[in-house]
């Protein structure tokens, strides 16, 4: 149980009112608040820094915590001051807001801690002054992205119990790691993409000469083989595309997505080629279409995360790229015009028109310098050198922006992957802590019985044994205990449960002997006397049945008993009797400690055969002589 909600424990205990009228057994006694009602204010004074300010300063903003009557809830009458159990560093910023009217965001502060503090004091973050607002928004954005990332990965990993076939297929396509079949499919498609790209490339390599004709590219020499390869690849791609189309949750959106367009463009040329006949005029266009086959290489982006990051970076830097393009265009036009007019005079100049000079300008600005067009006049050379210098500048400027964007996104992805990997370990540790808390309850149950027994006897020297749990813990355990009483079932831990299940499945049905109803009163006592949990046994019944089965019979009998209204009073009186019988026998409390704290499950068969003393759940056979005393205590 987190420490923060401990303050809500009174509420949870109050909410137990819903169980009281329903419970058939009496509730256990509440733990007494032994400590005097101390003042709750823990004067640890971590936030012991004392700030002082005028009241009117605070009342400038009446819709915040400090400016309204809400702060009266935090007033400490003894010291006549308002005590807030919060971070003093952030409080400094908050108070400065009241003083100056400007809220600042300290850079070293964690964004979510700061947000929590603002929420506590009732201040809207929008009021942050311009000086610090940019920083605040940046950090907040990063945090939000990280949260979204976490949520996404969580959604990917949570096991959805009932998925339709279509949904499983879509999940398999999106995350190949979910099943081996998906992984196989993933690798097969990757392989075929590679094969297809390589064949497209090799097709054009000259492949040796057929005697009597010129050198042929491989594609024409082994055209059948290449055609078969192409067919196979296209087959696979088509099947994959159709499967994805079928499995997509929103088909319309899938069709519009970039990857599906790439898929279609990759396989279309083949089908168009099949359809078209081999006449001369169309085959030219057909050859052009084959160019589109190279787009198959983009299908690799599903397989490579780096490629996806690159694509995403380009998309997110689109405005920078656009600016780069625009400024380059401007510069090209300017310099091309200048070079054209500068070189107009010289003879045999290659600068025949301004568009022709574009080529020279581009080659020069990007510092390529092929040398197919060179200026010959002096003016041309001067302007040419200015052109190449400015080219370097114009290109170098937007590039760092793109690079930093790419690096940011790439590192974010790295961090996300690392976090996802660490998350498993973190979750495992959290799970252990959680079971630790529930085990704490089970653990203290065994010890707790003895606390209550001891408290009833009032032997002071034994009480200190029970003080290992704090008041909050004991109250929490009491709450869980009430729930157990309401439902007539007990909490046990996982291993015990599995043991019970195994035992119940091993011994299917009990023998024919059934407990006689004449033992009814005894049964009802033990129904509510579940405390000696793992050692209870049906009195007067010699069932070799499992504990489980016997408990089930017990509970059914119990319910039948309740249908006779006269028994309600008798049941409560029985409990009273048990309680009355409690006191004299609790004096022998020394011995009970040893018995109750042994959680070993009893050996069934010996108990089943031994003749149980009347109304005595036979515990471990360790201390048979005190069995009767044990009974009374366990009938708590």
Partner 1 sequence: MNRCPRRCRSPLGQAARSLYQLVTGSLSPDSVDDEFELSTVCHRPEGLEQLQEQTKFTRKELQVLYRGFKNECPSGIVNEENFKQIYSQFFPQGDSSTYATFLFNAFDTNHDGSVSFEDFVAGLSVILRGTVDDRLNWAFNLYDLNKDGCITKEEMLDIMKSIYDMMGKYTYPALREEAPREHVESFFQKMDRNKDGVVTIEEFIESCQKDENIMRSMQLFDNVI
Least distance in angstroms from the C-beta of 8 to partner 1: 6
Choosing from 36, 63, 372, 425, the residue that interacts with partner 1 (CB under 8 A) is: 63
CB 572, min distance to partner 1, A: 5
Distance of CA 325 to the CA centre of its chain: 42
Interface with partner 1, residue 500, by CB under 8 A: yes
Taking CB under 8 A as the binding criterion, the range among 154-162, 175-183, 347-355, 552-560 that sits at the site for partner 1 is 552-560
d(CA 128, CA 133): 6
Q: Tally Cβ neighbours within 10 Å of residue 254.
A: 17
* Residues facing residue 206 across a β-bridge: 217
User: Could you tell me if 94 and 121 are in contact, meaning their C-beta atoms sit under 8 angstroms apart?
Assistant: yes
Q: Which is nearer to partner 1, 94 or 266 (CB)?
A: 94
Give yes or no for residue 447 binding partner 1 (CB under 8 A).
no
Answer yes or no whether residue 533 interacts with partner 1 by CB under 8 A: yes
As given in the structure block, the two tokens for residue 497 are: 């449960």
257 to 276, contacts with partner 1 by CB under 8 A? Answer: none
Contact pattern for partner 1 over residues 299 through 328, marking x by CB under 8 A: ----------------xx-xxx-xxxxxx-
CB burial of residue 349 (10 Å; 0-12, 13-18, 19+):
buried
Instruction: Name which of 337 and 555 has its Cβ closer to partner 1.
Output: 555
Query: Which pairing describes strands 206-209 and 215-217: parallel, antiparallel, or unpaired?
Result: antiparallel
| Nearest of 185, 188, 173 to residue 247 by alpha carbon | 173
Q: Is 140 in the site for partner 1 (CB under 8 A)?
A: yes
Q: What residues numbered 323-362 form the site for partner 1, per CB under 8 A?
A: 323-327
Dihedral of the alpha carbons of 221, 222, 223, 226, in degrees to the nearest 10: -140
Residue from 93, 103, 118, 197 that binds partner 1 (CB under 8 A)? 118
Which of residues 60, 120, 292, 294 is near partner 1 by CB under 8 A? Answer: 120
Burial of 494 (0-12, 13-18, 19+ CB in 10 A): exposed
The distance from CA 143 to its chain's CA centroid, rounded to whole angstroms, is 15
The residues, ordered by sequence, that sit 6+ positions from 117 with a Cβ below 8 Å of its Cβ are 86, 87, 90, 91, 94
| Closer Cβ to partner 1, 171 or 443, answer by number | 443
Q: Which is nearer to partner 1, 25 or 636 (CB)?
A: 25
Would you count residue 292 as binding partner 1 (CB under 8 A)? no
Nearest to 316 by CA among 240, 404, 390: 404
Of the candidate residues 58, 479, 595, 633, the single one contacting partner 1 (CB under 8 A): 479
125 binds partner 1 (CB under 8 A): yes
Q: Nearer to partner 1 by C-beta: 21 or 208?
A: 21
Q: Is 72 in the site for partner 1 (CB under 8 A)?
A: yes
Binding partner 1 by CB under 8 A: which of 425, 565, 590, 605? Answer: 565
Q: Which residues inside 584-603 make contact with partner 1, applying CB under 8 A? A: none
- Angle of CA points 500, 502, 507, to nearest 5°: 95
* Contact pick of 390, 552, 589, 593 for partner 1 (by CB under 8 A): 552
10: Cβ–Cβ under 8 A, 6 or more apart, which residues? none
Beta strand pairing call for 75-76 and 81-82:
antiparallel
- Closest CB to partner 1 among 392 and 501? 501
83-102: which residues touch partner 1 (CB under 8 A)?
A: 85
Binding mask 18-37 vs partner 1 (x if CB under 8 A, - otherwise)? xxxxxxxxxx--x-xx----
Confirm if 474 and 620 have CB atoms less than 8 A apart. Answer: no
Footprint on residues 409-438 left by partner 1 (CB under 8 A): 434-435, 437-438
Helix 547-562, helix 494-506: angle, nearest 10 = 90
The nearer residue to partner 1, 168 or 499, going by C-beta atoms, is: 499
Q: How far is the CB of 43 from partner 1 (least distance, A)?
A: 15
- 377 touches partner 1 by CB under 8 A: no
List binders of partner 1 among 153-212 (CB under 8 A): none
Q: Which stretch binds partner 1 (CB under 8 A): 265-273, 299-307, 481-489, 609-617?
A: 481-489
Nearest Cα residue to 557 out of 488, 618, 603: 488
Which residue lies nearer to partner 1 by CB, 95 or 492? Answer: 492
Residue 42 or 188: the one with the smaller Cβ distance to partner 1 is: 42
3-state per-residue secondary structure call for 69-117: HHHHHHEECCCCEECCCCCHHHHHHHHHHHHHCCECCCCCCCHHHHHHH
Q: Least distance from C-beta 488 to partner 1, angstroms?
A: 8
Nearer to partner 1, 24 or 588 (CB): 24
Q: Which residues are CB-neighbours of 386 under 8 A, at least 6 positions away?
A: 335
Q: Does 124 bind partner 1 (CB under 8 A)?
A: yes
């Amino acid at each position: 149980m987190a420490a923060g909600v401990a303050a809500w424990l009174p509420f949870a205990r109050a909410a137990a009112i819903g169980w009281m009228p329903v419970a058939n057994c009496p509730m256990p006694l509440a733990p007494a608040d032994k400590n005097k009602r101390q003042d709750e204010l823990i004067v640890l004074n971590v936030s012991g820094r004392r700030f002082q300010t005028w009241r009117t300063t605070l009342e400038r903003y009446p819709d915040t915590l400090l400016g309204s009557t809400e702060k009266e809830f935090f007033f400490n009458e003894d010291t006549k001051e308002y005590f807030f159990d919060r971070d003093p560093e952030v409080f400094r910023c908050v108070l400065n807001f009241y003083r100056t009217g400007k809220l600042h965001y300290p850079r070293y502060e964690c964004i979510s801690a700061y947000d929590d503090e603002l929420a506590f004091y009732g201040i809207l973050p929008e009021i942050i002054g311009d000086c610090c607002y940019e920083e605040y928004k940046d950090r907040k954005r990063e945090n939000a992205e990280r949260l979204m990332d976490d949520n996404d990965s969580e959604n990917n990993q949570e096991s959805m119990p009932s998925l339709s076939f279509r949904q499983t297929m879509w999940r398999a396509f999106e995350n190949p790691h979910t099943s081996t079949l998906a992984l196989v499919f993933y690798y097969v498609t990757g392989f075929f993409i590679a094969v297809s790209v390589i064949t497209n490339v090799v097709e054009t390599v000259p492949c040796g000469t057929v005697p009597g004709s010129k050198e042929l590219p491989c594609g024409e020499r082994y055209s059948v083989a290449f055609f078969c390869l192409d067919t196979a690849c296209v087959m696979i791609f088509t099947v994959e595309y159709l499967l994805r189309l079928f499995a997509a949750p929103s088909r319309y959106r899938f069709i519009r997505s970039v990857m599906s367009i790439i898929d279609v463009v990759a396989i279309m040329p083949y089908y168009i080629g099949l359809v078209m006949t081999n006449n001369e005029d169309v085959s030219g266009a057909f050859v052009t279409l084959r160019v589109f086959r190279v787009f198959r290489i983009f299908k690799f982006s599903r397989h490579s995360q780096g490629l996806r990051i690159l694509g995403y970076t380009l998309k997110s830097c689109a405005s920078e790229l656009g600016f780069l393009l625009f400024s380059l265009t401007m510069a090209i036009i300017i310099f091309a015009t200048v070079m054209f007019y500068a070189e107009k005079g010289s003879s045999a100049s290659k600068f025949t028109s301004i568009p022709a000079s574009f080529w020279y300008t581009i080659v020069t600005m990007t510092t390529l310098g092929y040398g197919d067009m060179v200026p010959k006049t002096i003016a041309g050379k001067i302007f040419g050198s200015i052109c190449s210098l400015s080219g370097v500048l114009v290109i170098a400027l937007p590039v760092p922006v793109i690079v930093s964007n790419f690096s940011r996104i790439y590192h974010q992805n790295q961090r996300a992957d690392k976090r996802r990997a660490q998350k498993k370990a973190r979750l495992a540790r959290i799970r252990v802590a959680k079971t630790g808390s529930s085990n704490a309850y089970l653990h203290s149950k065994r010890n707790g019985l003895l606390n209550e027994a001891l408290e009833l006897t009032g032997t002071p020297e034994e009480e200190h044994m029970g003080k290992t749990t704090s008041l909050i813990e004991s109250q929490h355990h009491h709450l869980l205990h009430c729930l157990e009483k309401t439902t007539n079932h007990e909490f046990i831990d996982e291993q015990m449960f599995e043991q019970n299940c195994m035992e119940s499945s091993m011994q299917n049905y009990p023998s024919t002997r059934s407990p006689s109803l004449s033992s009814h009163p005894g049964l009802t006592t033990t129904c509510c006397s579940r405390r000696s949990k793992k050692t209870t046994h049906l009195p007067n019944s010699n069932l070799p049945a499992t504990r489980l089965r016997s408990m089930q019979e017990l509970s059914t009998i119990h319910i039948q008993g309740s249908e006779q209204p006269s028994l309600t009073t008798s049941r409560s009186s029985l409990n009273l009797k048990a309680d009355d019988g409690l006191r004299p026998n609790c004096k022998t409390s020394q011995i009970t400690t040893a018995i109750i704290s042994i959680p070993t499950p009893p050996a069934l068969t010996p108990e089943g055969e031994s003749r149980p003393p009347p109304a005595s759940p036979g515990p471990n056979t360790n201390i048979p002589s005190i069995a009767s005393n044990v009974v009374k205590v366990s009938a708590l």
